Amino acid sequence: MAVEGEEEKTKSFKLLGILDIQNTPCAREAVLHGSAASILVGLGHFLATSRVKRSFDFGVGGFMLTTLGSWFYCRYNNAKLRMQQKLIKDGLKNKVMYEGTSLDPTRKQNSSQGGGS
Amino acid sequence: MAHPSQLGFQDAASPVMEELLHFHDHTLMIVFLISTLVLYIIVAMVSTKLTNKYVLDSQEIEIVWTVLPAVILILIALPSLRILYLMDEINDPHLTIKAMGHQWYWSYEYTDYEDLGFDSYMIPTQDLSPGQFRLLETDHRMVVPMESPIRVLVSAEDVLHSWAVPALGIKMDAVPGRLNQTAFITSRPGVYYGQCSEICGRNHSFMPIVVEAVPLEHFENWSSLMLEES
């Protein structure tokens, strides 16, 4: 198992030698979105203005903004998911530990619903 | 644990280390984008045919290259400060362990309930069993219950040492005459290795730290056995 894990990590592809696309969550998605946006924006600008260098500038700008935007959006959603997973995990643990006792979280919910009706 | 020719962090075994990994990814993406921009600017500058010897100032570019770095620094600083304060939280630990640095071994004291203390020496290479790790294994491990907040009080008896376990995201200097406090929770059972991280003499590289996180019943059995042995 350890050898397979090491092989997976040695196969990792690092952009500019620093950013591990394969093992960093959201990195691959962000770079792909950025690349697509840079091609669209650069090409679109060139078709509209026929200015090559300025189109490259717009392409790079589009790449950076889109990569950043996609990265933050994906990381924010990931963070939300992780918090939800943690809450579910803690809830399951509490349910298993306190089932049948006065601290049972489902018993508290049921008694509050029964009191209301 | 660490593997040969590893460049990145070890897998996180505590919530704090997970946060540090996420922060590292966040910062690395910013670094990657800045590097891409700089590389592009270098290529553009080298390949341009335009030369203007009479440009003296430009308000727009000055504003851009002042405001943009400030914004980038804020984007990095906010999560960084969040983790800094998160690492300082000590939420009602279940157990307190004293880790004392000596030349050249660590000693651990579990004095909450009974008087349990032991030394932790590195196992020499010639005494290793097959499958054990060179320069990392110790004769006695610091055993802790998993998923429980543990407080570690770090100090030293002679010279400066440093108690570090990368997988848990912990590094705390061991200063003679001073008690430093750190805390951790292990997310999963396992064995986590670290090494002394402050130069302390000829055998500085040969006083490793091994933390073993086990279920509570195993921890109770282990502590009973250790008390009987002592």
In this predicted model, which residue has the larger pLDDT, B177 or B111? B177
Lowest-pLDDT choice from A7-21, B128-142, B204-218: A7-21
* Mean pLDDT, residues B11-32: 93
Q: Tell me whether residues B29 and A71 touch, CB distance under 8 A.
A: yes
* Mean pLDDT, residues B23-38: 93
B93 within 8 A of B183, measured Cβ to Cβ: yes
One of 3.90.1300.10, 3.10.28.10, 1.10.287.90, 1.20.1250.20 is the CATH number of B15-88, namely 1.10.287.90
Q: Tell me whether residues B33 and A68 touch, CB distance under 8 A.
A: yes
Q: Is B59 helix (H, G, I), strand (E, B) or coil?
A: helix
pLDDT exceeds 90 at position B139: yes
Per-domain boundaries in chain A:
11-98
B193 within 8 A of B1, measured Cβ to Cβ: yes
How many Å apart are CA A26 and CA B25, to the nearest integer?
10
Predicted ipTM beyond 0.85: no
Confidence of residue B54 (pLDDT cuts 50, 70, 90): confident
Q: Tell me whether residues B44 and A67 touch, CB distance under 8 A.
A: no
Question: Residue B2 corresponds to which amino acid?
Answer: A
CATH 1.10.287.90 positions along chain B are 15-88
Domain B95-229, classified CATH 3.40.50.11540, yes or no: no
Rg (CA), chain A: 25
CATH 2.60.40.420 positions along chain B are 95-229
Q: Is A19 helix (H, G, I), strand (E, B) or coil?
A: strand
How many Å apart are CA A49 and CA A40, to the nearest integer?
14
pLDDT at position A11, please?
Answer: 64
Q: Which of B219, B214, B188 is nearest to B12 (CA)?
A: B188
pTM of the model: 0.84
In this predicted model, which residue has the larger pLDDT, A112 or B223? B223
How many Å apart are CA B164 and CA B89, to the nearest integer?
18
pLDDT at position A115, please?
Answer: 46
Nearest residue, CB atoms, A16 vs list B5, B32, B44: B32
Pair type for strands B190-195 and B208-214: antiparallel
Confidence of residue A1 (pLDDT cuts 50, 70, 90): very low
Mean pLDDT computed over every residue of chain B: 93
Q: Tell me whether residues A57 and B44 touch, CB distance under 8 A.
A: yes
Mutate: best of A20, A23, A24, A93, partner B, most B CBs <10 A: A24
Say yes or no: A16 contacts chain B, CB-CB below 8 A. Answer: yes
B75-105: string of b/e by CB count within 10 Å (b at 16+)?
A: eeeeeeeeeeeebeeeeebebebbbbbbebb
* Mean pLDDT, residues A81-89: 90
How many Å apart are CA B107 and CA B118, to the nearest integer?
6
How many Å apart are CA B71 and CA B116, to the nearest integer?
52
pLDDT at position B91, please?
Answer: 80
